[in-house]
Amino acid sequence: MAGRLAAFLRNAWAKEPVLVASFTIGSLAVILPALSPYTKYAAMINQVTPYNYPVPVRDDGNMPDVPSHPQDPQGRSLEWLKKL
């Protein structure tokens, strides 16, 4: 099986090297991002990034779910990102 594949690739490279090179580059472009360590950290950052950001509202003291200041820490900490 490997011999047949090698013969096919050798023959294809001899006839159409541009196509073989473009298919090789294209397949590497599809496969390599999944193997990259940056994909792991990008996924971790996307998980802790909020989808909706707080809007400043006038607090009358009767709003327990609204932070007193827009920069008050909420949710999970991003200390792991600072320690990289």
pLDDT in tens, 31-84: 998 888 888 888 888 888 877 766 666 666 676 666 666 677 666 777 777 787
Provide the pLDDT for residue 61: 67
- What distances in angstroms separate CA 37 from CA 18, 26, 77, one per listed residue? 30, 20, 21
**pLDDT at position 70:** 65
pLDDT digits (tens, 9 = 90+) for 5-39: 999 999 999 999 999 999 999 999 999 988 888 88
Place of tokens 């820490």: 73
